[in-house]
Amino acid sequence: MSVTDRPVFDQRLLDALVHGLAGSSGQAFFEQLVRQLALMLGVKGAWVTEWRPARRRLRALAFWFDDHYIEGYEYDIGGTPCEPVINRCEPTLVAERVIELYPRDPDLPALGAVSYLGQPLQDANGVVLGHLAVLDDKPLAASAALLSVFRLFTARASAELARLWRDQALAERETRLRTLAEEARQLREDIARLQGEAEILGESPPMRRMREELRRVAGLDTTVLICGETGTGKELVASALHRQSGRAAMPFVRVNCAAIAPGLQESEFFGHEKGAFTGALQRRDGRFKQADGGTLFLDEVGEMPPDLQAKLLRVLQEGEFERVGGGRTEKVDVRLIAATHRDLAAMVAEGSFREDLWYRLNVFPLRVPPLRQRGDDILLLARALLARFARSHGLPLPTLTEQDERRLRAYPWPGNVRELENVLERALIISPDGRRLALDRALPEASPPPLPMEPDEAVILTAAELAALEKANLERALAHCRGRIAGPDGAAALLGLHPNTLSSRLKAIGLR
């Protein structure tokens, strides 16, 4: 088809095409737009891009060429006919010999290009968002009709891309607001802890041992991996490590690795440059930069995806990173504390967690014991929590009866301290007279009843209830004896059993 053979534009057809575009949005809109533009102008190909200024690159949102779509097309603008479109922010027409005029463009020969027409896409403030372009394997004449159609399609593409950027910016703003709200909530909790709890409560042997290990490592810059079941208070331990360290006056930044959207994780940790991706309207610091000089706490580190694990490893090894969309290496001085309820060693064995990262995190493992292994700490915590809840709700402070204490000791607390908090607050709220705690209604129905303490109490227990009570009792004995079975200070002597008998019983019920 020669220059004079270009199609004559039918206004009714053009109106129908534009009306058809109005019914789509996003990716479908751009795909339909470039296909219709190529057909309307009778050219070989058409593509619409978004501009990434930090990397000086254009990324095709849709590229129609020779009756099919080209996926994943992205390129540097240097030496291409798209460069003046972006740099000068004005339409550029190369009617013929485009390969000779732009010999540094590696894609033009492969596409058999002869002519090119491009125009920038801008928002209402004149900010360049990307560009719309066509190319052909024949010369392209700048007729008034052709330029009019091209401007019309450019205006529609600009409006849609600006809308997507606004939506992305709003989504990012909402994410940031949620993050700030979470940080505010955590700050309020920290203040409440500092006001109501001068230290981590607990006098059981496992807690005394854990506090001693915490004291020894807190003043060092050693990486700490806090392990423990869900609800045991790992975040409270991390906060105590920071407060007792030499970085206490610097930021303590928390990140819940399981709560960050997959597409925003790298930006959340390392920050991004303006224009690094759709909706990145300004430069932003990541969590590592925010924690510079202080402590970064990675909660649920076992939920981190593999590609981010590799980037985290680099920061731990070299103390440096790059923002998303940036080329400049930044250095930070951060102490890392991680926490998980997962078995990272097992995850390493199955290939879902990097072995080298595990070794870097597991420098000083600190285990927070589950509540069922803490003996009378349950009662100590219960009294402190009830006092806090009564004060915050303006309710009378009830006294724990012997029956209450037996119930609290007997229940296995699979949700640990967090479950204890919920049960006690619920029991306090539904307390009928404000003096007696309604534990019978607040505890889960599946919890086994306490053993009868009075001779005249006729309580019949099921086999499952007896097994649960036996397991809880053995766990308390092991916790009290720091895991020792034999010897005068062992659990066997405490229970009046032969050590071999106790070992066999522990194995039978699945305790280690």
- In the chain, the largest separation of any two C-alpha atoms, in whole Å, equals 109
**Helix, strand, coil share (%) of the chain residues, nearest 5:** 50, 15, 35
Is residue 210 domain-shared with residue 323, that is, in the same domain?
A: yes
pLDDT tens-place string over residues 261-316? 766 777 777 877 766 666 656 667 778 888 888 999 999 888 888 878 888 888 88
pTM (predicted TM-score) = 0.52
pLDDT tens-place string over residues 470-486? 888 888 878 777 778 88
Give the pairing type, strands 45-52 and 128-136: antiparallel
Which run of H or E residues covers position 126? none
Burial of residue 154 (CB within 10 Å: 0-12, 13-18, 19+) is buried
pLDDT tens-place string over residues 483-507? 788 876 778 877 878 787 888 788 8
Per-residue DSSP letter, 447: S
Distance separating the N- and C-terminal Cα atoms of the chain: 82
CATH number, domain containing residue 256: 3.40.50.300
Residue among 313, 291, 234 nearest 224 (CA): 234
Is residue 151 domain-shared with residue 259, that is, in the same domain?
A: no
List the Cα angle 278/280/281 in 5-degree steps: 115
Cα–Cα distance between 186 and 178 in angstroms, integer? 12
pLDDT tens-place string over residues 175-234? 778 777 777 767 766 655 554 444 688 889 999 999 999 999 998 989 999 999 988 989
**Domain span holding position 90:** 3-167
Count of domains in the chain? 3
Q: Choose the final residue of a domain: 144, 167, 190.
A: 167
Is residue 112 domain-shared with residue 222, that is, in the same domain?
A: no
Is residue 328 domain-shared with residue 270, that is, in the same domain?
A: yes
CATH number, domain containing residue 48: 3.30.450.40
Is residue 27 domain-shared with residue 130, that is, in the same domain?
A: yes
List Cα–Cα distances, 238 to 30, 214, 289, 418, in angstroms: 48, 9, 19, 16
Positive or negative: CA dihedral 277, 281, 283, 288: negative
Asked whether residue 190 is domain-assigned, the answer is no
* Cα pseudo-dihedral 27, 28, 34, 37, rounded to 10: -150
More confident residue, 304 or 16: 304
